Amino acid sequence: MSRDITANVQTIVDSAEVQPFLLFEGEFASGYVRAWSGYGNLSWNSQTWTGTGTLLNISNVQETSDGSAQGITATLSGIPSSLISLALGDVRQGASGKVWLGFLDNGVVDDPILLFEGRLDIPSIEEGGETATISITYESRLIDLARSREIRYTDEEQQSLYAGDLGCQFVAALQDKEITWGRK
């Protein structure tokens, strides 16, 4: 996928010193978690992003020329073991997640580049002593293209989707109906 980058971002990328960072936004039951790969708080897009430093890790974001669905894994380490149940209770499969690539130059350079947007798939936990590591896998939305759609054109299916709609009430009677087309 081609990326449209602004003139400001192009200027920073072409400069001698580049300060890239990652932004991660994940939707959870209690609300959105917004983190960035630096230290302290960062303000962008009218939101405050919490700095995680080396505690946040995002796997490689891959794209293929054939358009196949690729996923990513967001890992947060150093979580106290006492907070694991709270963290897992907050996870909702299918919730959205996004990753941006941004650049610093006396503040955030306009328009960080959206690298990935997907849906939460599987969380996993690795416990070790007093702290734990939580990894959350996100699937690309392209994975939906591979899923089969199980919709039938029956009155029952229509009623489950739109109660009271009579648009498919005669579909079953059409199954064995002989229709003459044109003149005899």
Q: Does domain 7-146 have CATH number 1.10.150?
A: no
Task: Answer yes or no: pTM beyond 0.75.
Answer: no
Average pLDDT value over all residues in the chain: 83
Given pLDDT bands bounded at 50, 70 and 90, which one contains residue 1? Answer: very low
- Residue intervals of the chain classified under CATH 2.30.300 are 7-146
pLDDT at 98: 93
Stretch 31-59: mean pLDDT: 88
Q: How many Cβ atoms sit within 10 Å of the Cβ of residue 75?
A: 16
- The CA–CA distances, whole Å, from 174 to 168, 170, 179, 180 equal 10, 7, 9, 13
**pLDDT digits over 94-144, tens only?**
899 999 988 887 777 778 888 889 998 888 888 877 888 888 889 887 766
In sequence order, what DSSP letters do the residues of the chain get, joined into one string? ------HHHHHHHHSS---EEEEEEEEETTEEEEEESSSSEEEETTEEEEE-GGGEEEPPP---TT-----EEEEEEEEEGGGHHHHHHT--TT-EEEEEEEEBSSSBPSS-EEEEEEEEEEEEEEEETTEEEEEEEEEEGGGGGGS------SHHHHHHHSTT--TTTTTGGGTT-----S--
